[in-house]
Structures are given as structure tokens and as C-alpha cells.
């Protein structure tokens, strides 16, 4: 995970997202919310295991104030092939969950309420990753005794003198087979520990030699701890944030990035390109993805999309699918009834659109999520989180909405997480739309989907949108002015990873998803887009100029709006996916940042974007901590009720009398507008006119000579500053 290295302060906000692009290479998860782990061929894994038990462990356990006291009466020696090392086995302890170093060995603990048997599977050195998944590995099974190795619903075991690193491990778990009761146990599959902090499997991204690679958990208690030196959380105030939504792999995967081939598409690649982020002026990066996933998921079986790559890392669902396309790798086989929402017939509830829904507010699942989040903060210095389909977090174990969901409250009140930026995508695929109503305890911010929709509709010239446009740019008080919520709790965005890029928003009326292999049936149909007169690529100079103005209009509106702005990687040069609004599975130029195109736009389009970001950051008038009062804004409008009116002008007033005048014209004709008098002893300077060619479209220091009226061009916007 990136951190705030020794450069001007950044806030790195990790995002758990459903339809994200693919990651760089494997990255250790803090819990087994695995994007995808291939289990193909796992039914034969039992035959590949070598059992080497030669005597039975007998132990007695007596209760103490702190749990159980362990006394070895007769130890079991495990003689491993390729090693003569013997190990002492003890019952172990229930906490902490996962693999932990205790005294002279390793303790393993896993929760499973409904399991009838649990077997710990170990792959020990010198057998390593090179031998793993070749059919030559020799795995040791340790079957846990439910009377000795189980405390409550937690199964545990301690192995003395087990290597402190290099051990791969998983669990085979058996239990009831009644599917109507919600069980999906399959003891033939080696499962990933939900608390595994590292996952071993395919090491090179997209390596076809390991197309059907299996995955196991691992640990490292002897490697040096990472030296964070003097790194501290930047603690950038939320009203000062400018968020850049970035896909780690896609940012530098393209050869045009110019970074060394061995780090393209990696976190190291991102670090190489931080200067671009600084030049753009953003100060917060929202990274996706962050969890381990299987980029070869679509290639496990023949299907229309077996040419693609996918990411699937969230707290609302996992990679394990439903009963139509099951892919058992962890939770499903550990305790399906606990970890997933199920109906009365034991079938998966699907509020995620991905086949299953995590049972977030079950106490055990909730604690796993909290532990995972704390791990990212403590171990990787992550500054905050964006939660995909966060309305799922507001559902009870029966799937019904909760007024005060325990998990959402716990995140807001947690001693560690309460200091982080926490952002909800306040809807899910089951129709629970909570924009402006997400349970928040005055801490949670929200992706403002209404901002996105209203801004798109006004800019493309829909009737009756002027009032909504005014409401959104002034901070969406209709949604967030309640209790102690602030304008910055609205995450304003026009473009995100889902849907069209900004360029495609002004170039396509319809989605073009044929290359996704789903016959165009995937992706959103309601994009509120406008192609400016021609569908797709064109050489028409007038249409090209109009599209450029529209993109600048959108970006200017975003940067002057009260609230927290978020933009998408690549929009600063006009990245296109050629109308594909659901491109998450493509590992190619469709999604990869095109650095040569950035260079081509550096002195024009990129310069405008960068200047707008920096202008916002240097003007408090756009970053108010409180909602606008009457004294803060003058609306130059006496025609609110006219649905045909698509022009809006207003003045934001500054205590320093450095007022800012803004006008947005979504008509297809010029509007000559009277300019109000500037504050006493001040003059108006033109900073922005999106109808002008670069560099006159944005002049940060301002151009004098503004008269009493201004002719605002069709589909353009202006910004004047009083000096």
C-alpha cells in the first residue's frame, strides 16, 4: 500500500470496489476477502497430500481465568519427508485468530460454528512456492480434536518450533451437508484462512503457466519489519481534499509510462509517477484494488468472457459466487451459514449483484471486517476507506435494512478507524438507496450520486435542471444539512471507475460494450450522456471543440462546488474507452493510462485541469466548512420557475471581499449577461472562459478589462475574480 512518502502531503484512501480494474502483482490481504482464487482441480488435492502421523497426542486442558491451560502428556512427532525435524503439538489458544507467533512456535485459530471437523494443512520448507501446485507438493494434515482443540466456536492448535516463515497453510473443513439449512461444506478443498495476512499463489500477474493456480495463506515472523521512518498520517482536513480515483495496475502498466518493465503496473510504478499527481495538484489518492484476487478468474471455465481479467474485492461480497457458479476458496467452505446472507431456504441473497452478500452485521463477520480495516491502518498507514455498495453494511442478517447498523456505527466509533476518512457508496444492488440518508454518526461521507446525475443532466441541456444544479454546486444542503454533517460529507463526482470516462460522457449517447462478451447486456443504460452531435470518434472540428468545452465545464463545476471533489484517473487528458461503460475486465489500453496522450494534451487540456484543481486549493471560498448562508452567495436569477432556462449565474462572497462570479450556459446560443458590480475598490478579472482556446481559457492571475456585460458562449462557463 502506498504511504505518504517524503513529498508534499498526500492522503491515500484505499477503496474496496466491485468493478475495479485489475491489480498489480499479488498483495497481502488483511483478511481473506479474496477477489478470486482458483480451485480448479482441488478435488484431487487429497490424493496429493502425504500424511505422516506416527502417534497420537494426548493432552489435558483445565480452565483458568484467562481461558485454558495446556499440559502435554504425550506428544505427537511429525516426521516430514525431506526433513527429520520433529514438532511438539499442543492444543493452542483461541485468540488471536489466524496464524500468530506464541513463545517458541506458531498458533493457528479459525472460527467455524457449524463445522464437525477441522484439519490444518501445512506445506513446509524446503517445499516452497516453486513446488506448490505442481502435483509434487507434500502437504501434512493435522486433524483437530473437537474436545481438545476447540473453544466455543473457535478451532485452534499450537505447533512448537514450526518455521517462522515460508510455511503455506490452509484448512479442510467438514460439516452438515443440508443445503436448505445454508451449509456448503466440502472437506476436499483446502481453504484460505480469513485472517491470513499474506496469500501465496501466482506470483507474476497473468502468468499463463499458473493459469489455474491454487492459493494458500502464509505468514512471516522473521523478516524485518518495515521502517516507516518519520512517516505520519498527513491528516489533511476533509474540506481540503481533492481525490483522484486510481487503479494501481492501470496507472503504469502501459509501456508509455516509461517506468522499468519489472515494476510496471505495481505500487512501485505508482511511486515513480507521483510527480504527475503533484503536477495535477491532487492531494488524495483513492486506490483500487487492495486485496488479493485472481486475475485469471474468467479463464477457469469456457465462457464468453474468458479473454478478460477481473477484480472482486469488497466487504459486501466475495469471489465465491452462488450455487450456479460456486468457487469455494474460503468463507463458503468455512461456515457458509455464518458468513453469507441466506434466505429461509438456504439460498444466497444477492444484494451485491455478484451472487452472494456478506453477512456484515453478524458479530463474528463484523469483527473480521473491523480487524481487517485496523490492519490496513496500522500496518500500511492507510488514511481512509471507501466502501463499495455500502448499503449492504446497513442490512441485518435477514437482509432487511437496519436503522442503526452495528458495523457502520462501530467503524464510526472505533478508536483507530474513527480517525480515518470513511466514505460510503450509499446504495446496493437490492435497491437500498441511501444518498443523504446513510447512517453516519456525523462521521461517514458519501458518494453523492445525485450530484453526478444532476450535473450531467444540466450540462447536456436537459430542461428543468437549473435549480438542482444550483443545489449541488452549493453543497447539497438538501441532503447533508442535518445534525452535525458538513458539506465535505458530500463526495462530489461526475465520473468514477464505473460507467463512462469524462471523454466518453461527451462523445457517446449509448454504451458500446460488445467487447465484454455479454452481447451488450452489461453496464448501465442510464448514463445521462450526450455525444455533442456525433456518436464516437469524429474529425469534425466543431464537435471536437464542443466536447472539449463540455469536459472543461464539468471539471470547473466540480472544482468550484462546495463538498469534496473526486475525479477519475485519465480524465485529465481525456481518456477514452470508446463507449465501453463496464470495462473493468480489460487488461489493455482500454483501461491503462496512456502517457503519450497525456503528453499530447499537456499544454492544453491537462493544463486547464491542473489550474482548476490548484485554484480550488488556494481559494477558501470553495472549501467552506459550513453550508452557505444568504450572506455567502448571491444568485443572479429571477427565473427559477422557467424549466426552459438553462443558464445560471451567481457570486460567491468572501470575507476578504475577493468575490468570485460564475456563470454556466447550457443553452445552444450565446447569453449576454449583466455583470454585477465588484466589491468596493475591487475590479473583476477573467480567470476562466471555456470558450477560449488555451492558454486563454484559464489564466490563474486573471485578465482585466471586464465590462458591464459578458457574452457567454453556448455550452460554456466563465469565472471572474474580484481583485
Question: 511 burial class (0-12, 13-18, 19+ CB within 10 angstroms)?
Answer: buried
Interacting residues of 583 by C-beta distance below 8 A, sequence separation 6+:
513, 516, 577, 590, 591
Interacting residues of 294 by C-beta distance below 8 A, sequence separation 6+:
34, 35, 36, 37, 38, 201, 202, 213, 215, 319
Domain C-terminal end among 386, 415, 447: 447
What is the pLDDT, as a whole number, of residue 214? 78
Question: Residues 13, 287: contact at Cβ < 8 Å?
Answer: yes
174 is catalytic: no
Alpha-carbon separation of residue 231 from 123, 224, 235, 376 (angstroms): 36, 17, 12, 15
Answer yes or no: is 42 within a domain. Answer: no
Q: How far apart are CA 178 and CA 175, in angstroms?
A: 9
What residue numbers bound the domain in which 705 lies?
629-722
For residue 117, give the nearest of 196, 188, 181, 33 by alpha carbon: 188
Answer yes or no: is 640 within a domain. Answer: yes
CATH of the domain at 390: 3.20.20.80
> At CA 359, angle to CA 356 and CA 361, rounded to 5?
155
Domain C-terminal end among 412, 447, 482: 447
Answer yes or no: is 285 within a domain. Answer: no
Answer yes or no: is 381 within a domain. Answer: yes
CATH of the domain at 639: 2.60.40.1180
What is the pLDDT, as a whole number, of residue 439? 97
What is the pLDDT, as a whole number, of residue 522? 84
In a shared domain, residues 321 and 427: yes
Answer yes or no: is 164 within a domain. Answer: yes
Q: How far apart are CA 250 and CA 257, in angstroms?
A: 10
What is the pLDDT, as a whole number, of residue 203? 65
Q: CA Rg, the chain, in Å? A: 28
> At CA 712, angle to CA 711 and CA 715, rounded to 5?
150
Element (H, E) at 428: none
Q: How far apart are CA 192 and CA 198, in angstroms?
A: 10
What is the pLDDT, as a whole number, of residue 292? 62
Q: Cell numbers at residue 76, please?
A: 505427537
Answer yes or no: is 105 within a domain. Answer: yes
User: What is the count of structural domains for the chain?
Assistant: 3
CATH of the domain at 172: 2.60.40.10
Its pTM stands at 0.87
In a shared domain, residues 315 and 216: no
Element (H, E) at 347: none
Handedness of CA 271, 272, 273, 279 (dihedral sign): positive
Answer yes or no: is 380 within a domain. Answer: yes
Tell me if the bond preceding 695 is cis, omega within 30° of 0.
yes
For residue 37, give the nearest of 444, 425, 310, 359 by alpha carbon: 310
Going from the first residue of the chain to its last (723 residues), give the mean pLDDT of each consecutive group of 10, the final group possibly shorter: 34 40 32 36 29 30 33 32 63 97 95 98 75 67 96 98 94 98 97 94 65 80 90 92 94 97 93 96 87 60 47 73 94 98 98 96 97 92 92 97 97 95 95 97 97 98 98 98 97 96 98 88 90 98 98 98 97 97 89 97 96 97 97 94 96 94 98 96 97 97 97 98 97
Catalytic residue among 297, 388, 428, 454: 388
- The DSSP secondary-structure symbol of 297 reads G
388 is catalytic: yes
What is the pLDDT, as a whole number, of residue 261? 95
In a shared domain, residues 205 and 334: no
Q: How far apart are CA 233 and CA 3, in angstroms?
A: 8
In a shared domain, residues 206 and 324: no
Answer yes or no: is 253 within a domain. Answer: no
Question: From the CB of residue 698, how many other CB atoms can be counted at a distance below 10 Å?
Answer: 22
Alpha-carbon separation of residue 250 from 34, 270, 317 (angstroms): 20, 10, 23
Query: What does residue 62 show for φ and ψ, rounded to 5 degrees?
Result: -125, 145
Catalytic residue among 254, 286, 383, 425: 425
Domain C-terminal end among 404, 420, 447: 447
What is the pLDDT, as a whole number, of residue 18? 32
What is the pLDDT, as a whole number, of residue 137? 67
Amino acid at each position: 500500500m502506498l504511504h505518504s512518502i517524503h513529498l508534499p502531503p498526500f492522503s491515500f484512501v484505499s477503496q474496496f470496489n466491485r468493478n475495479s480494474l485489475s491489480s498489480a502483482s499479488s498483495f497481502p490481504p488483511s483478511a481473506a476477502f479474496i477477489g478470486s482464487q482458483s480451485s480448479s482441480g482441488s478435488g484431487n488435492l487429497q490424493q496429493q497430500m502425504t500424511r505422516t502421523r506416527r502417534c497420537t497426542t494426548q493432552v489435558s486442558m483445565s480452565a483458568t481465568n484467562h481461558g485454558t491451560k495446556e499440559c502435554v502428556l504425550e506428544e505427537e512427532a511429525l516426521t516430514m519427508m525431506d526433513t527429520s525435524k520433529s514438532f511438539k503439538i499442543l492444543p493452542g489458544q483461541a485468540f488471536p485468530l489466524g496464524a500468530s507467533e506464541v513463545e517458541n512456535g506458531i498458533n493457528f485459530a479459525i472460527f467455524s460454528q457449524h463445522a464437525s471437523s477441522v484439519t490444518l494443512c501445512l506445506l513446509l520448507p524446503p517445499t516452497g512456492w516453486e513446488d506448490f501446485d505442481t502435483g509434487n507438493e507434500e502437504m501434512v494434515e493435522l486433524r483437530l480434536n473437537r474436545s481438545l482443540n476447540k473453544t466455543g466456536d473457535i478451532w485452534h492448535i499450537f505447533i512448537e518450533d514450526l518455521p517462522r516463515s515460508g510455511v503455506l497453510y490452509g484448512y479442510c473443513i467438514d460439516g452438515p451437508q443440508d443445503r436448505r439449512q445454508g451449509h456448503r461444506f466440502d472437506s476436499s478443498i483446502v481453504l484460505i484462512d480469513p485472517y491470513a495476512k499474506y496469500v501465496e499463489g501466482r506470483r507474476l500477474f497473468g502468468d499463463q503457466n499458473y493459469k489455474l493456480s491454487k492459493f494458500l495463506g502464509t505468514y512471516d515472523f522473521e523478516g524485518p519489519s518495515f521502517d516507516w521512518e518519520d512517516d505520519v498520517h498527513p491528516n489533511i482536513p476533509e474540506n481540503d481534499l481533492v481525490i483522484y480515483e486510481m487503479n494501481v495496475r492501470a496507472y503504469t502498466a502501459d509501456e508509455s509510462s516509461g517506468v522499468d518493465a519489472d515494476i510496471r503496473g505495481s505500487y512501485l510504478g505508482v511511486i515513480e509517477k507521483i510527480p504527475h499527481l503533484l503536477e495535477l495538484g491532487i492531494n488524495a489518492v483513492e486506490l483500487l484494488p487492495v486485496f488479493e484476487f485472481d486475475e485469471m478468474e474468467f479463464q477457469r471455465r469456457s465462457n464468453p468472457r474468458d479473454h478478460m481479467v477481473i477484480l472482486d474485492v469488497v466487504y459486501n461480497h466475495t469471489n465465491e459466487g452462488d450455487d450456479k457458479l460456486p468457487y469455494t476458496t474460503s468463507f463458503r467452505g468455512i461456515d457458509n451459514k455464518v458468513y453469507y446472507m441466506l434466505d429461509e431456504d438456504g439460498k444466497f441473497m444477492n444484494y451485491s449483484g455478484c451472487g452472494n452478500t456478506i453477512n456484515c452485521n453478524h458479530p463474528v463477520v463484523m469483527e473480521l471486517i473491523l480487524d481487517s480495516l485496523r490492519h490496513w491502518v496500522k500496518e500500511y498507514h492507510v488514511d481512509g476507506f471507501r466502501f463499495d455498495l455500502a448499503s449492504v453494511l446497513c442490512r441485518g442478517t435477514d437482509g432487511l435494512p437496519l436503522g442503526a447498523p452495528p458495523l457502520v456505527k462501530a467503524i464510526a466509533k472505533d478508536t483507530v478507524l474513527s480517525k480515518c476518512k470513511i466514505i460510503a457508496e450509499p446504495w446496493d444492488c437490492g435497491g437500498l438507496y441511501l444518498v443523504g440518508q446513510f447512517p453516519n454518526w456525523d462521521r461517514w461521507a458519501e458518494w453523492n450520486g445525485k450530484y453526478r446525475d444532476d450535473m450531467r443532466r444540466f450540462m447536456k441541456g436537459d430542461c428543468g435542471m437549473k435549480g438542482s444544479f444550483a443545489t449541488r454546486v452549493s453543497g447539497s444542503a438538501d441532503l447533508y444539512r442535518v445534525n452535525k454533517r458538513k458539506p465535505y460529507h458530500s463526495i462530489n463526482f461526475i465520473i468514477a471507475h464505473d460507467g463512462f470516462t469524462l471523454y466518453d460522457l461527451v462523445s457517446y449517447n449509448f454504451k458500446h460494450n460488445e467487447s465484454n462478451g455479454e452481447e451488450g447486456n452489461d453496464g448501465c443504460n442510464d448514463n445521462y450522456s450526450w455525444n455533442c452531435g456525433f456518436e464516437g470518434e469524429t474529425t469534425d472540428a466543431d464537435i471536437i471543440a464542443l466536447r472539449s468545452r463540455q469536459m472543461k465545464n464539468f471539471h470547473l463545476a466540480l472544482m468550484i462546488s462546495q463538498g469534496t471533489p473526486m475525479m477519475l484517473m485519465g480524465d485529465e487528458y481525456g481518456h477514452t474507452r470508446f463507449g465501453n461503460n463496464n470495462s473493468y475486465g480489460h487488461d489493455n489500453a482500454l483501461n491503462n493510462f496512456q502517457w503519450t496522450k497525456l503528453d499530447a494534451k499537456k499544454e492544453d487540456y491537462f493544463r486547464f485541469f491542473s489550474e482548476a484543481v490548484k485554484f480550488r486549493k488556494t481559494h477558501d471560498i470553495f472549501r467552506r466548512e459550513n453550508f452557505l448562508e444568504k450572506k455567502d452567495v448571491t444568485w443572479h436569477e429571477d427565473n427559477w420557475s422557467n424549466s426552459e432556462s438553462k443558464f445560471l449565474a451567481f457570486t460567491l462572497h468572501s470575507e476578504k471581499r475577493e468575490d468570485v462570479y460564475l456563470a454556466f450556459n447550457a443553452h445552444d446560443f450565446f447569453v449576454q449577461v449583466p455583470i454585477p458590480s465588484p466589491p468596493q475598490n475591487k475590479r473583476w478579472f477573467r480567470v476562466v472562459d471555456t470558450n477560449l482556446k488555451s492558454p486563454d481559457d484559464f489564466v490563474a492571475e486573471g485578465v482585466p478589462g471586464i465590462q458591464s456585460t459578458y457574452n457567454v458562449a453556448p455550452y460554456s462557463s466563465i469565472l471572474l475574480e474580484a481583485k
